[in-house]
Structure 1
Amino acid sequence: MGRSKKLKHIHSIFKDKAKIIKAKFSITNHTTSAIQIAVLRSTTRSARSPPPDHLISALVSFSNTTRHSALACISTIINRLHHHHQPNVYVALKCLITLHHMFIGGSFVLDEQVMMFQSMTTASYGFLNLSRFVDNTNMQSREFSLWAQWYACFLETSLFTSTVLKCHVSLSKHEFVKKKESLKSCLYIDLFREIEALVSTVEEICKVPKSLHCQKNDIIYEVTRLVGEDYRMIQYHIMIRLTELSDRVHNLSTNESSKLIRCLERLETCKAGLSDLFSNRMRNEAFWDLVTELMVKLMKLKEGREVKSLCWKMIEYETESTQFKQLLVLAT
């Protein structure tokens, strides 16, 4: 068994090297060839560690030159993710990590990113199509396969949320200040749609595999770290929108208030799972305090309106009762 694994490992090394040599001597242009080599080197079958920083930086740089290069980077990674004879969970995780870095560091237009992925979608499982991915090499590979499935779903949801926000989930400080200012003129319906998308992304994070001990592995730790960084930014996105709605809370209709309460309840059910996943690294008590404060404010508003509605019904009932008695008197 050990000899078989060793032979597979050696075969993987030679297979990747053969592909790199082929890319070097291919008739494609220099940039395309360089992209293929960078992708192959960053997603090797043999190494069990995350892609090297210098290769990630090279791919992000390529994607920021022209739209053609950006498309070449994305399509090469997607092809690497799916087109190999034997499913390899380390290749899959490295491809997803590389894509994640490109979401964060890529400068090409968000809508174009989405169009790229949608054009590559071959099934109804999402554009990364890893919902059925399994590497049956050994127990650890099967366990890590669940992490690959979860990570792919998170990236799909995150990109969809970015389209709803009309900006990437990860923003620079300058861009975040601009976004915060623009919310003042946002309609309620837009704020609700954005908050719901953000909460859905948080819920997707909470679907993490139960095998949290896997985070001791370098590549799974890197996956968790990147998702954690996005979650930190998602918190800020939710906070600025909840703050804006908190200032307008008395102008919300009963239906809008109920909708926001349900959203906050969904968020609160995620708290324990998030704490377990990130080991309290992303606690941000100010965020959860805001959620609690707004929930209390909305519940008081709801109770006040219910009491007011009940009072009006009683007044209407008494008025109708008095009128009925007067009619009886007149009738006799």
Structure 2
Amino acid sequence: MGQRKKLRDIVGAVKDRGSLFKASLSAKPAVSATRATVVRATTHKSAAAPAEHRVAAVLSLGLGSGITASACIWYLTARLHRTRNAFVALKCLFALHGIMIHRSPHDQNLRLYSFAFEGKNFLNLCKFNDDFDEEAKEYSSWVRWYAATLEQSLIASHALGYVLSSSSSSPCSQAKREYKRERMRAATSSDLMRELEVLVSSLEQVSDVPGSLHLRKNDLVYEVVRSVCQDYRMIRCEVCSRVEELGSEERSGSLSFGHLTRLLSALERIEGCRERLASLFVNKANADGLWDLIPRTKEKVLGLMRGGDQSSTVVPGGAWLPWRDRFSFNALTTVL
């Protein structure tokens, strides 16, 4: 088996040199440089993480002007879909992820997002499988998970109307949460629920981690998990803001039964991710208070749905009405 791996590394090195030679044949120096930079950052060389200066070179291109960024992303995605090597695929995804999380939160012109929402489905790697050996198959499961996680992150960015980027990757400070709270207050309950459900789907995808957690000791997988952790912190911050708003006294009392049902379902889905997320990131920290906020909000929602004291609401005349009396008798008889 050791000899087979050595032979595979040699063949991979030859392929990389061939790709570099092919890049040098381009009549356009800029194209040649871009392709060579992508190849050097995504080599077949075992499972070693790409050198920092290689990653920095790709990020410099991917975060550059529109034409340069588009070319860099195009070559990364082309290499991603041509390869059957799990290490090359992980490195391509890692580079694409770096471009995503370092982009401006308000940049809607990045070619990456057009790829995602013009039907190209370039992150659909659900059938990816490197069947060289059992270990390669385990790495393949990380490729599939990582690709699906990035795709869901793009979907969340599209739903929110801005890119989840590293500028928001710091923990939710009080000032930042207050700013978000003001934005949430101006949004409709339907919009908040739609955004929350998309964000919860992102949490679920992150938590749907491969069973081979022991591979986190590998340098490349370690860097992948660390990058996903940045996304996880951003998503948690966004989830907290929406759960706080939807569960607030001002908002919760006016939620329809349908919204309450959807909110309860979202809260239960979040709770279902907790243990798997803790296992993945080996961290049970709760600095933003999410794991305390969820059960409190859930209890309030259940109280509203049961029609107890908390289920009363304000009608235009200013009187408080319990849940069962929110609709007129005539309206009910009309429905019946």
Look up the equivalent residue of 1:136 and give its one-letter code: D
**Partner of residue 117, structure 1:** 116
2:148 pairs with 1:150 = no
Percentage of matched positions with identical amino acids: 36
2:256 pairs with 1:253 = yes
**Partner of residue 22, structure 1:** 22
Question: Which of 1 and 2 has greater Rg?
Answer: 1
Q: Secondary structure at the match of 2:48?
A: coil
Look up the equivalent residue of 1:33 and give its one-letter code: S
Distance verdict in 2 for CA 1:308–1:181, change over 3 Å: closer
TM-score norm. by structure 1 comes to: 0.84
Shift of 1:173: 4.8
Distance verdict in 2 for CA 1:272–1:3, change over 3 Å: closer
Shift of 1:189: 1.0
Shift of 1:282: 5.0
Uncovered stretches (5+) of structure 1, i.e. residues with no partner = 317-332
Q: Once structures 1 and 2 are overlaid, which stretch shifts more, 273-282 or 89-98? A: 273-282
**Partner of residue 87, structure 2:** 90
**Partner of residue 79, structure 1:** 78
Distance verdict in 2 for CA 1:210–1:262, change over 3 Å: same
Q: Secondary structure at the match of 2:253?
A: helix
2:229 pairs with 1:228 = yes
Q: Deviations over 1:248-280 (max 9, x none)?
A: 111212221121111101111111111111112
Distance verdict in 2 for CA 1:143–1:119, change over 3 Å: same
**Partner of residue 133, structure 2:** 138
Uncovered stretches (5+) of structure 2, i.e. residues with no partner = 313-320, 330-336
C-alpha separation in 2, matches of 1:81 and 1:282: 35
C-alpha separation in 2, matches of 1:14 and 1:47: 13
C-alpha separation in 2, matches of 1:288 and 1:73: 40
Within 5 Å, give how 1:38-53 maps onto structure 2: 38-53=37-52
Indicate conservation of the 8 Å contact 2:41/2:58, yes or no.
Answer: no
Indicate conservation of the 8 Å contact 1:71/1:116, yes or no.
Answer: no
C-alpha separation in 1, matches of 2:256 and 2:3: 69
Within 5 Å, give how 1:182-197 maps onto structure 2: 182-197=183-198
Within 5 Å, give how 1:1-332 maps onto structure 2: 1-28=1-28, 30-84=29-83, 87-107=84-104, 109-110=107-108, 112=110, 113-119=112-118, 121=120, 126-173=121-168, 177=176, 179-247=180-248, 248-280=251-283, 282-284=285-287, 286-303=289-306, 304=308, 305=311, 308=322
C-alpha separation in 2, matches of 1:9 and 1:64: 31
C-alpha separation in 2, matches of 1:273 and 1:284: 18
Question: Which one has the bigger helix percentage?
Answer: 1
Shift of 1:246: 2.3
C-alpha separation in 2, matches of 1:220 and 1:17: 25
Indicate conservation of the 8 Å contact 1:275/1:283, yes or no.
Answer: no
- What value does the CA root-mean-square deviation take over the aligned residues? 2.6
TM-score norm. by structure 2 comes to: 0.83
Q: Deviations over 1:175-224 (max 9, x none)?
A: 98455532221111111111000000011112111111111111111111
Shift of 1:25: 3.6
Look up the equivalent residue of 1:89 and give its one-letter code: A
C-alpha separation in 1, matches of 2:277 and 2:27: 49
